[in-house]
Every structure is written in structure tokens, then in C-alpha cells.
Amino acid sequence: MVIPQQFHIGEAPGWSVNHRVNSALPGYLMISSTTATNDLSDLSTEALRSVGTVFASVQHALKSVLRAKRIYISRFGHAPGYPIHFHVIPIYDWVEELFWQDDRYRVLETFAEGPGETPTDGAELTLFVWREFCERSEPPPIKGPSVAETIAMLREAIAFP
């Protein structure tokens, strides 16, 4: 998949960082290998060494510039033809508030009692972000900078090796 230039944030040795194309959540990033493989063991030593620095730079920018409360970095994809990639999902206070206000997600309360009591977990909030900000044709309103503004801010803030 070719990432449109307006979503591109930067590159580091062996890695490319972009905003997720189909996400209305500002700061939902993808860190993708520049090598067409789904296996970490196929990557160069340089790419393997730099990925930790890329994760740290992205996380730092999301926390310091966008004030993300939590940041989830995960690998989910395994489809042939796509390079190995990681999802970087920022959870802002307002995202968590929307989660708790949405009765459709209360079925998940078998594991969480409610706001301020037992916090929800990353899987539940990831599901919420995917369903509400990536799959819905009309996502919830965001608070803060737009996706385009966020991309511009992150281009300035992230220092790649």
C-alpha cells in the first residue's frame, strides 16, 4: 500500500512513520518496516536496532505534544504482501471519557467497574478506537488539533535517528 504524502511523518533507518490513513483519531500512527517482510528476523541489524528509538521518539512526541494519557504500541497484521508494522494508538482523556459514556461498550464491564474504580484495559480501548474512529463513517467529534494539524505538529516534534 502506498501511503499518500499528506499522511507521511518521517523515516528512520529501516522504518517509515505515518498517520493511519483511515483513522479520524489524531495521532493514530503506523510504524512500518521499509523491508517487505512480516518477520522481524528478516530485518537488518540496523533496522532492528533503530526500532526502539523510533518507538521512543513517537511515544515521547504523542505524550509531550498531544498530551496523550496512554499510548499503545502493538502488532496485529500478518497479511502477506504487507511489511511488518506496528499500530501506535494514543488514548487521550477525552477518548476515555467517550468510551465510558457509550452504553454499547458497557458489556465489557465484566472486567471493569467504571471510571475511577477499576480502569479499563488496552484491548477494550483499542476496540473502541477501531470501531469509533476507524470504521464509522461519522466518527465522534475530536477535541484538540485535527488529523492534518496533528501530522504537521508531529513532523516538527519527532526526531528520527
Looking at the structure, give the CATH architecture of the domain made up of residues 5-157: 2-Layer Sandwich (3.30)
Domain positions in the chain are 5-157
Q: Given the C-alpha cell 452504553, which residue does it identify?
A: 103
One-letter amino acid identity for 121? Answer: D
39 contact partners, CB below 8 Å, separation of at least 6: 84
Q: Please check the confidence at residue 161 and state whether its pLDDT lies above 80.
A: no
Residue 137 neighbours by CB distance under 10 Å: 4
List, for residues 5-55, the tens digit of each pLDDT value: 999 999 999 999 999 999 999 999 999 999 988 889 999 999 999 999 999
Prediction pTM value = 0.90
For the chain, the average pLDDT equals 90
CA distances from 137 to 3, 18, 106, 107, 133 (A): 20, 21, 22, 23, 9
> How many helical (H) and strand (E) elements, i.e. helices and strands, does the chain have?
4, 5
Nearest CA-CA partner of 37 in 75, 89, 88:
75
One-letter amino acid identity for 37? Answer: T
